[in-house]
Amino acid sequence: MKSMKIYPVIMVGGAGTRLWPASRKAHPKQLMKIGSKESFLAACYRRANKIADEENIIVITTKEMEQFIREEIPACKPENIVAEPVGRDTAAAVGLAAVVVASRDPAGICAMLPADHHIGPSEDFVKGMEAACRLASDHDFLVCTGIVPTHPSTSYGYIHRGEKIDDILGIPTYRVNSFREKPNPYTAREYIEAGDYYWNSGIFIWKAQVILEELARHLPDHYIHLQEIADAAGTPEFESTLARVYPEMKRISIDYGVMEYTRKAAVVEGVFPWDDVGTWTSAGRYFQKDSSGNAVDADVMLFGCRDNIIRAPKKKFVTMIGLDDLVVVDTPDALFIAPKERDQEVKDIVKHLKEIGRDDLL
């Protein structure tokens, strides 16, 4: 695998607002430890090192996160941590990563890895990435990793697969018919019954030059700015050029900007357990469970309580009586309580806190 020219690109952005109040600007989701002794970021870096040498692992992040990353993954070379001057969504981040990789290796393959997912055994991950990299290398596809749905989730986008391309390392690969937004419950059930839909994991693999060509085709304004940044790559003017040019790029995701329009999209079936741990309900799957179905990451005493999710600082004792199906998340300065079926609405709390200027809680 390491004989291939693979450049894992770890994407460390986003505030993980659906895991507030534990996830904050100063300690975002990527640095949290859920169901593991290592943070999401540290685990992602370890997996990346399974498919490439450390010198080829690149981190695209924000200015606010840069120092946290250096502390969390000290093995990462300082020159491989590239901080966006401002956030401009994933199309800009993908383009920046491609520019960095192409400047070092024109034939390089980018493996875009979100830093905040839970992924199963490394051996399965490596096999899946090798299949995807071969598909991208041999056919110039923009390759997505599709996860076989286990239930009709409304929390994920979906990939509708098309005609089969081949089996690579025993893993089926297909062209992509279309990408679908997060569905309502009825539509999600239809996708599951159809049997030819995947969850979109957000893991992409492509040649740096190929994604730049597709950006030029579908987001020409982005490409013009990226070319100016590329011209400064490897020179003392790179940082100043990035700071001047990058904020001019409009906010748009790679999904909306390129993937929904390209004719080069392909999907490799994910052969590893995957979970984006995007809500407290999903996080609860990795907490210790008692005989009444309570998922607990805290010092608790519960009486007549069922199917709750509870997280609190280890030095704080929590007790509850006769409560069911709640999410309870306590931190030193904030407490969040909600019915489990409404836990995603925590993002609305974060939005309102921004509106009223409560930056101390963000």
* Shared domain check, 35 and 13: yes
- Token readout for 257 is 């900007």
Please compute the mean of the pLDDT values over residues 91-114 and round it to a whole number.
97
Cis amide linkage into residue 21, ω under 30° from 0: yes
Q: What is the pLDDT of residue 13?
A: 82
Q: How far apart are CA 354 and CA 136, in angstroms?
A: 41
Domain check: are 263 and 357 in the same one? no
Instruction: Identify the H or E element spanning 198.
Output: strand 197-207
Choice among 43-52, 97-106, 119-128, 189-198 with the minimum mean pLDDT: 119-128
- Answer whether residue 3 shows pLDDT above 60: no
Mean pLDDT of 321-339: 97
Distance, in Å, from the CA atom of 173 to the CA atom of 133, rounded to the nearest integer, reads 12
Q: Which of 107, 110, 116 is nearest to 96 (CA)?
A: 110
- Examine the domain organization and report whether 261 and 292 are in the same domain: no
| Alpha helix positions (H), the chain | 40-51, 66-72, 89-104, 122-139, 185-194, 208-218, 220-232, 238-245, 254, 280-283, 346-355
Averaged over 101-125, what is the pLDDT?
Answer: 94
Examine the domain organization and report whether 211 and 347 are in the same domain.
no
Same domain, 107 and 141: yes
Q: What is the pTM of this model?
A: 0.93
Is 1 a domain residue? no
- Tell me the C-alpha distance between 162 and 152, whole Å: 20
Query: End-to-end alpha-carbon separation of the chain, Å?
Result: 41
Higher per-residue pLDDT: 349 or 17: 349
pLDDT of 15 > 80? The answer is no
Range 290-317 burial, b when 16+ CB lie within 10 A, else e: eeeebbbbbebebeebeebbbbbeeeee
* Amino acid symbol at 220: P
Percentage of the residues of the chain whose pLDDT score is greater than 70 = 99
Could you tell me the pLDDT band of residue 301, with boundaries at 50, 70 and 90?
A: very high
**223 lies in the same domain as 313:** no
What are the tokens at 316?
Answer: 């704080």
Residue 232: give its domain's CATH number.
3.90.550.10
Query: What integer pLDDT is reported at residue 2 of this predicted model?
Result: 54
Taking only the tens place, the pLDDT of each residue in 235-245 is 999 999 999 99
Task: Based on the fold, state whether residues 243 and 291 are members of the same structural domain.
Answer: no
The tens digit of pLDDT for each residue in 133-189 reads 999 999 999 999 999 999 999 989 999 999 999 999 999 999 999 999 999 999 999
Q: Choose one of 275, 310, 332: the last residue of a domain.
A: 275
Q: What is the mean pLDDT of residues 114-125?
A: 91
pLDDT exceeds 80 at position 1: no
- Are 236 and 352 contained in the same domain? no
Name the domain count of the chain: 2
Domain enclosing residue 302, as ranges: 280-361
Query: Does 286 fall in a domain?
Result: yes
- DSSP letter assigned to residue 287: S
Q: Are residues 224 and 351 in the same domain?
A: no
CB 154, CB 185: distance < 8 Å: yes
% of the chain with per-residue pLDDT over 90: 90
For residue 106, whether the previous peptide bond is cis, meaning omega lies within 30 degrees of 0, is: no
CA pair distance 59, 97, nearest whole angstrom: 8
DSSP string of 24-46, one letter each residue? -SSS-GGG--SSSSS-HHHHHHH
Beta bridge partners of 205: 111, 143
